[in-house]
């Protein structure tokens, strides 16, 4: 019976081992997963109790929050790069749904309002700052260049390859890709999403995943590195820029603009004043010289 028991135990372990190994999150390397039943794998965001849907993208707010967790709580991954936000890294406040809260604050009680992409859209203030609504980022413009060593591609082929990439890798429906333009080596992509149905991914999340992929800091697991090819030829992305356009204009304080206008006006007034003064001085010198000449003639 002992040999038979050993064989049965070995078969059980062989079946259980792949199941355990397969309990990972393909769309979020920072998710902590556990097998809580036969064929049932549950994943949660590192450092929190938020469940992660590994069949789609994780919200940018939750991802930024996970990036702020100490390295020892993340498993053995290298520290992530800093966010490409001009205000630096911050630990965002997220709704339970994963969207950003309209007002964000740091540890020094400095607060500001953000859009649905988590990008600041107002001046910074204190905790009395009121952010009445979370303004939606309607358009996202992505500009990238490929290495000049790469040969130029046909425009339709580039558009097709990138559309397939965004659809298959980032789960973005093609209807949200408003335009793709190609002027070698520059590629311009415009994402347009006025409203986001619950079942669709957010273009802000797509842009964040794409940015991380291009910067070699992919959020996907290690087996899903970014590769872009056009008709079998590699498209080597070299530089990337992302711009956000909200449904409402940003609400930055007019003081900076007023200060700039005031400075310009001051310069113009000073320049004009100096010019008038120079003209008056020249006129006075000319008049004085003429009077001296006239007086000399009268004496003669």
Average pLDDT (285-291) is 63
- Measured CA to CA, the distance from residue 128 to residue 179 in angstroms comes to 41
183-232: per-residue pLDDT in tens? 999 999 999 999 999 899 999 999 999 999 999 989 998 778 888 889 88
Residue 26: is its pLDDT beyond 80?
Answer: yes
Q: What is the pLDDT of residue 89?
A: 61
Could you give all domains of the chain from N- to C-terminal order, each with its CATH number?
Answer: 137-246 (3.30.70)
Residue 120: what pLDDT?
A: 93
Higher pLDDT, 167 or 277: 167
Q: DSSP assignment of the chain, as one string?
A: -HHHHHHHHHHHHHHHHHHHHT---TT-TTEEEEEEETTEEEEEETTS--B--TTSPPPHHHHHHHHTS-GGGS-SPPPPPPPS-TT------B-TTSPBPSEEE-TTS-EEEBBTTS-B-B--B-TT------B-EEEEEEEEEE-TTSPP--HHHHHHHHHHHHHHTT---GGGEEEEEEETTEEEEEEE-SS--TTSPPHHHHHHHHHHHHTT--SS-TT-----EETTEE--EEEEEEEEEESS--B--HHHHHHHHHHHHHHHHHHHHHHHHHHHHHHHHHHHHHHHHHHHHHH-
Checking if the pLDDT of 163 tops 60, the result is yes
**Residue 74 pLDDT greater than 60, yes or no:** no
Query: For residue 168, what pLDDT band results from cuts at 50, 70 and 90?
Result: very high
With b for 16 or more beta-carbon neighbours within 10 A and e for fewer, the 189-228 pattern comes to bbbebeebeeeebbbbbbbbbbbbbbeeebbbeeeeebeb
- Mean pLDDT value of segment 47-59: 87
User: Mean pLDDT over residues 74-93, rounded?
Assistant: 51
pLDDT of residue 88: 54
pLDDT of residue 224: 80
Please check the confidence at residue 75 and state whether its pLDDT lies above 50. no
pLDDT digits 0-9 by tens, 255-284:
444 444 445 555 555 666 677 777 777 776
What integer is the mean pLDDT of 239-245? 93
Task: Tell me the mean pLDDT in the region 237-253.
Answer: 89
Cβ–Cβ under 8 Å, residues 159 and 236: no
Band the pLDDT of 101: cuts 50, 70, 90: very high
Find the range with the poorest average confidence among 2-16, 27-41, 102-116, 165-179.
Answer: 2-16
Q: Mean pLDDT in the chain? A: 79
Q: Tens digits of per-residue pLDDT, 132-152?
A: 999 999 999 999 999 876 567
């Amino acid at each position: 019976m002992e040999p038979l028991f050993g064989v049965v135990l070995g078969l059980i372990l062989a079946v259980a081992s792949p199941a355990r190994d397969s309990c990972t999150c393909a769309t979020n390397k920072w998710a902590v997963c556990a097998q809580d039943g036969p064929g049932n794998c549950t994943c949660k965001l590192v450092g929190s109790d938020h469940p992660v849907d590994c069949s789609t993208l994780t919200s940018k707010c939750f991802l930024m929050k996970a990036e702020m967790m100490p390295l020892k709580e993340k498993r053995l991954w290298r520290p992530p790069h800093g966010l490409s936000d001009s205000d630096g890294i911050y630990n965002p406040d997220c709704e339970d749904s994963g969207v950003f809260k309209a007002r964000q604050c740091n540890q020094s009680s400095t607060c500001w309002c953000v859009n649905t992409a988590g990008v600041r859209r107002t001046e910074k203030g204190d905790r009395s700052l009121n952010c009445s609504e979370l303004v939606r980022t309607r358009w996202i413009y992505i500009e990238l260049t490929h290495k000049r060593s790469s040969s130029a591609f046909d425009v339709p082929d580039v558009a097709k390859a990138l559309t397939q990439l965004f659809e298959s890798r980032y789960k973005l429906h093609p209807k949200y890709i408003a335009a793709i333009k190609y002027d070698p080596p520059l590629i311009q992509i415009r994402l347009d999403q006025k409203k986001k149905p619950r079942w669709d991914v957010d273009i802000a999340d797509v842009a964040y995943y794409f940015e991380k992929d291009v910067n070699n800091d992919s959020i996907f697991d290690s087996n899903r590195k970014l590769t872009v090819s056009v008709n079998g030829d590699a498209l080597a992305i070299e530089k990337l820029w992302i711009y956000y356009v909200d449904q409402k204009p940003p609400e930055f304080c007019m003081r900076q603009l007023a200060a700039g206008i005031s400075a310009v006006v001051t310069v113009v007034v000073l320049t004009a004043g100096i010019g008038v003064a120079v003209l008056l001085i020249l006129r006075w010198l000319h008049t004085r010289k003429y009077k001296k000449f006239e007086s000399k003639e009268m004496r003669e």
